[in-house]
Amino acid sequence: MASLAHGVVIGGSVAGLLAARVLLNHADRVTLLERDRLPTAPGPRPGIPQAQHVHALLLRGQQILETLFPSLTADLTAQGALRLDWTADWQFLTAWDWMPQHVSHLEGLICSRPLLEWYLRDRLLQMPGFELQAATTVTGLVFEGKAARVTGVVLAEDGGDQTLAADWVVDASGRNSKLVDWLAAQGLQRPPATTVNSFLGYASRWYQRPSHRPPKGIIVASQPGVTRRGGVLYPVEGDRCVVTLSGIEKDYPPADEAGFLAFAQSLRDPSIAQAMQDWEPISPIHSYRRTDNHWRHYEQLADLPDGVVALGDAVCAFNPVYGQGMTAAALGATLLDRCLQRSATSGQGRRFQKQLAQELLSPWLMATGEDFRWPMTTGDRPGWLSRQFQRYFDRVTQAANHDPQIHCAFIEVAHLTKPPTHLLAPRIAWKALTLP
């Protein structure tokens, strides 16, 4: 028997869709509220301006989604999604050298963000108890007593604000979340926030890949002290690929035809630029620069009301270049599922936020550790232990450039299927620490 009568989710992107899916395990009815009018087929929408850029579903995120939607891989493959080995089918130039290409069976599900989001939404619409209200703006929360509990949300309507009652509210509204303001309006604490910004910007364009060319991915990393520039060629469904070029410390890629190509030609390897010249462009060039890492520390609030939690970018938004966002949202959703299995009683939301902070710490340190390689990066510098682990991680990466087994371990940690301590295994440590 469901423990909740009605759950409400604010925000219909991947984080909100996954939150709605786990709420269906615990509520008789779940309503997802989305500000945008939603497309009936895979495609971009105004509320996700970054959807035109590369989005990677890391292996850990893929595992979680396959648990929540068991036919996900088969269904998306039928829609044209690719299954590529992360070590065999990708050319990856790290800051030091090329990673070895070899079969590892660390197979990723590769598709565009619009296709994945459309699929999750379509599947949810087929599930009993789920309701989607698009073109709906949430303007506040309904509080009970002295703001001790949230009992619903306030919706903007033409005839005046309306309320929608709920036993549990999940804020998955992304970087633009208003939850902080809604709490402050009740005299509650604002959570402290941490921001780390390397001033990275990127630009992307979609291309038609010749059907006779096998789908392969290319990653060319920036190199501190040498170049701020990097790029990714990311194959997706429909014999297409997305090229995303990035520049750190405000070395932004241009959005004009000639400048975009010249930027690609300036990368440390010509592979991406060569593909761009050989393939047909099928989109404009899209730019995006809101790439700071931003963490709202709800786990530090002693007065967070019962009945409301936040997850996804509404809590912790990462620099998108590291591809952690969708997987972090999946981690938050599966943690919410576990918490609600225990109970939805008093204090459960606060316990959820504390446990979510523990889940987010590892990807946060990996992302910000990379950003702090650059002198212009702003924010609190990592402590001595974090700096030492970053140096060790660099040694592991260099060892992985020449050792397929260490390369696999590197991928497992980067894709969050193994903790960073996995890289402390004796064989890996020996190889890393004895590099010339």
Q: What is the pLDDT of residues 204-228, one digit of tens each?
A: 999 999 888 889 999 999 999 999 9
Strand order across the 4-10 sheet: 130-133, 27-33, 4-10, 168-171, 308-310
User: Residue 251's closest CA among 222, 272, 286, 271?
Assistant: 222
What pLDDT is attached to residue 344? 62
> Which tokens sit at 43?
């495609």
pLDDT in tens, 229-258: 999 999 999 999 999 999 999 999 999 999
Whether the predicted pLDDT of 49 surpasses 90? no
What pLDDT is attached to residue 281? 97
* β-sheet bridge partners, residue 4: 27
Q: Three-state DSSP class for 144?
A: strand
Confidence label for 386 from pLDDT (cuts 50, 70 and 90): confident
Confidence label for 359 from pLDDT (cuts 50, 70 and 90): very high
How do the domains of the chain map onto residue ranges? 4-52+116-194+293-369, 68-112+196-288, 383-433
d(CA 132, CA 228): 43
Q: Assess if CATH 3.40.50.1370 describes domain 68-112+196-288.
A: no
What pLDDT is attached to residue 157? 82
* Termini Cα distance of the chain: 62
What pLDDT is attached to residue 1? 44
178 Cβ contact partners less than 8 Å away, ≥ 6 residues apart: 138, 140
How many CB atoms neighbour CB 292 within 10 A? 19
% of the chain residues with pLDDT over 70 = 99
* Mean pLDDT calculated for residue range 102-115: 96
189 Cβ contact partners less than 8 Å away, ≥ 6 residues apart: 183, 301, 302, 303
What pLDDT is attached to residue 99? 98
DSSP 422: G
Asked whether 86 and 107 are in contact (CB, 8 A), the reply is: yes
Q: Assess if CATH 3.40.50.300 describes domain 4-52+116-194+293-369.
A: no
d(CA 20, CA 333): 9
> Which tokens sit at 359?
């889940």
DSSP 169: E
d(CA 287, CA 255): 7
d(CA 280, CA 142): 52
What pLDDT is attached to residue 48? 81
* Mean pLDDT calculated for residue range 336-356: 89
Q: Are strands 149-155 and 138-144 parallel, antiparallel or unpaired?
A: antiparallel
User: Residue 271's closest CA among 32, 128, 101, 148?
Assistant: 101
